Structure 1
């Protein structure tokens, strides 16, 4: 009997071949460890702008980074997700939770929206999407699906799309096209992750709702379970994230995380320039991850790269960071982090870039800058290349984040 799951959605493209899109697939794996410790990871986003110029990163976020705690959970609800100052999804609920019960060890990510709308071009009401990845009795499984209460294209009901087949492509006059119910699962030598998303909006023509050339994933989820190993790897990377107090005004751009490594392959995620409304302009962003999980050694490295940032008259050159962690079967382990910033200037005035950890620089009337912000624990290290606290807006912008660690 498979786990009883709620609703949820898509995750990102992975490092191994997609194994299929059927509702449930069993994947044979090796036998369980004598001392089974599993890694749980997953996320759910309300919206995620995937290419081109955007006003924010992922919104309405619930996520758990790699953890061995099967009771870990995260939830975010009753929010509106905006793209290009348009309310694309309303009354959005997301949640991600791990489990260890009679169904096995796994993660479920869910997302719902009362209304997904692009003006009068497209209306999706009662959207519900879900995905689960789990391990039981030496096998790996996943399931994912999306349903809608009503679908209208150009104001015309289309009942055949209420339970769309996986990866259904539909033309939307005045916008471009959409892909409904995008689902799948990817198996690696160390575990499995599954993904599902309600709809991806592809704006291929000029319109007043979404910039041409931009893709927007709405209700995007990922669930990941790792088999027992020497150590679980953990960490994440993103280009920028902005908060006003505890409110996220721009989610993590080019976000990546892992719980099972990448089988030694480098995975790269990139976006074009990003505008954080009324705060900053950010140049092109990309992140990388590379990790292995095995019987002899587990290791992971994350990097973050930002072309530059502008806040008013403040211009900051290329920003980079990296974080690395490892552990071997004989119990040895280590961590390392680094960060760099090419330049800082206001108008024609050039400032020296501090290199010591947790150094601050005051830019009168504009912002307070903190460089190489490092948090280090026994088997974990996190670095923010730059933290910008914008005067007068009570806004904090994190730029160039990388983190890495090992568990077990």
Structure 2
């Protein structure tokens, strides 16, 4: 029986004993007198599925990820966002831009759509959402808003919702409910991030457009900026990601990233077992991140944990990876990575787990496995615990990704 698509909260995930591989590098770079840096990060999505439908990741993406370049920008225009074979949002445009000017240092992310429709249940026209986060003279600030040219629930126009108050909840017969103009901002000791979403669709009843129990954010934006520090910390982690050629068929699971650390607290994101349609069954997944930015030292740690994965006849035991980076005010930089895979089986035959960086195992007619795939740069390190090239599906599955680095 094929496992159902679903997500579960995890209290704990059991991990079998594994064979470990580790690599470490320490560098000396920069100087004690180096100028503090600002960090810029943000994105704008056309749509983003929150639960279920693991094969529907963010669409129509504009993104800048953890950079010190105040002129960074990204845009994506004239596209349709499809969910469950439905054209949810049409003529979508997204953009994300960093800036350093009279406003201060910050990021603005914007997403627009000519219309957002669910058949005869909902019609939102002329939708625009934007959010900005910035720091000026040491003060952290943000704004976020959404506007519509027209709002129709069923056959009824609702002019009062053209400029909906933040987080306005509205019942939609035949679907469940929606939340309009979902906005907010979070200040930390090292920076600020803000978010805005034009509408979040909550399917609480059976309908022809979205599977029951699924939540979809449409026109989703985020802007993030850090205060000046010794260094900006960067990195990310996820459990699995699958693609056919350059087409992503399953976005990162339990994904976490950072541009300003976590003030030394451990953040954990977990999902239960899930199915990547026509590709793989994945056991429980969780990731962790922890980091901080300070005047004397900046550091970040990421880890990824997958209980196991099955791809056709290929069965793989628990998979883990970790990456860390740090920099001190005297310019010293350290990078570490590690990864492990518990076991490899095809039917009743067991295969050895290769050790060392970028080690490969060919299983004729089944797949090529690459273990401990490491990319190391002067101030950044990335590790994929396992990369599976599935011959019959022309598909690549990355399992257990962690990365960490410092900028500045």
Q: Distance in 1 between matches of 2:348 and 2:94?
A: 46
**Matched residue, 1:330:** 330
Contact 1:121 1:175 in 2 (8 A): yes
Contact 1:131 1:143 in 2 (8 A): yes
Contact 1:177 1:202 in 2 (8 A): yes
Contact 1:292 1:298 in 2 (8 A): yes
- Indicate how the Cα distance of structure 1 residues 282 and 227 shifts in structure 2: closer, same or farther if over 3 A, else same: same
Cα deviations across residues 126-182 of structure 1 (Å, max 9, x unaligned)? 221111111112221111111122222223322222211100111122222111111
**Matched residue, 1:106:** 106
- Indicate how the Cα distance of structure 1 residues 86 and 345 shifts in structure 2: closer, same or farther if over 3 A, else same: farther
**Matched residue, 1:163:** 163
**Matched residue, 1:61:** 61
**Matched residue, 1:239:** 239
- Indicate how the Cα distance of structure 1 residues 386 and 114 shifts in structure 2: closer, same or farther if over 3 A, else same: farther
Q: Distance in 2 between matches of 1:88 and 1:287?
A: 30
**Matched residue, 2:137:** 137
- Indicate how the Cα distance of structure 1 residues 120 and 164 shifts in structure 2: closer, same or farther if over 3 A, else same: same
57-66 vs 80-89, greater mean Cα deviation: 80-89
**Matched residue, 2:44:** 44
SS at match of 1:160: helix
1:267 Cα offset (Å): 1.6
The alignment status of 1:189 with 2:164, answered yes or no, reads no
Cα deviations across residues 42-73 of structure 1 (Å, max 9, x unaligned)? 12222222224532332222222211111222
Q: Distance in 1 between matches of 2:344 and 2:77?
A: 39
Unaligned runs of 5+ in 1: 1-32
CA RMSD after TM alignment: 2.2
Contact 2:36 2:230 in 1 (8 A): no
The alignment status of 1:361 with 2:361, answered yes or no, reads yes
342-351 vs 61-70, greater mean Cα deviation: 342-351
SS at match of 1:209: coil
Cα deviations across residues 21-56 of structure 1 (Å, max 9, x unaligned)? xxxxxxxxxxxx993421111122222222245323
**Matched residue, 2:298:** 298
**Matched residue, 1:172:** 172
305-314 vs 101-110, greater mean Cα deviation: 305-314
**Matched residue, 1:71:** 71
**Matched residue, 1:8:** none
Q: Distance in 2 between matches of 1:282 and 1:84?
A: 21
145-154 vs 360-369, greater mean Cα deviation: 360-369
- Indicate how the Cα distance of structure 1 residues 267 and 185 shifts in structure 2: closer, same or farther if over 3 A, else same: same
Q: Distance in 1 between matches of 2:357 and 2:292?
A: 28
163-172 vs 394-403, greater mean Cα deviation: 394-403
Cα deviations across residues 79-116 of structure 1 (Å, max 9, x unaligned)? 33333343333333222221112221111112222332
Contact 2:36 2:231 in 1 (8 A): no
Q: Distance in 1 between matches of 2:95 and 2:310?
A: 34
TM-score, reference length from structure 1: 0.85
SS at match of 2:160: helix
Q: Distance in 2 between matches of 1:259 and 1:359?
A: 31
**Matched residue, 1:80:** 80
227-236 vs 53-62, greater mean Cα deviation: 53-62
**Matched residue, 1:388:** 388
Q: Distance in 2 between matches of 1:361 and 1:155?
A: 59
Structure 1 residues 204-215: aligned runs within 5 Å:
204-215=204-215
Contact 2:327 2:406 in 1 (8 A): yes
Q: Distance in 2 between matches of 1:243 and 1:81?
A: 18
1:193 Cα offset (Å): 0.7
SS at match of 1:42: strand
TM-score, reference length from structure 2: 0.85
Q: Distance in 1 between matches of 2:91 and 2:342?
A: 42
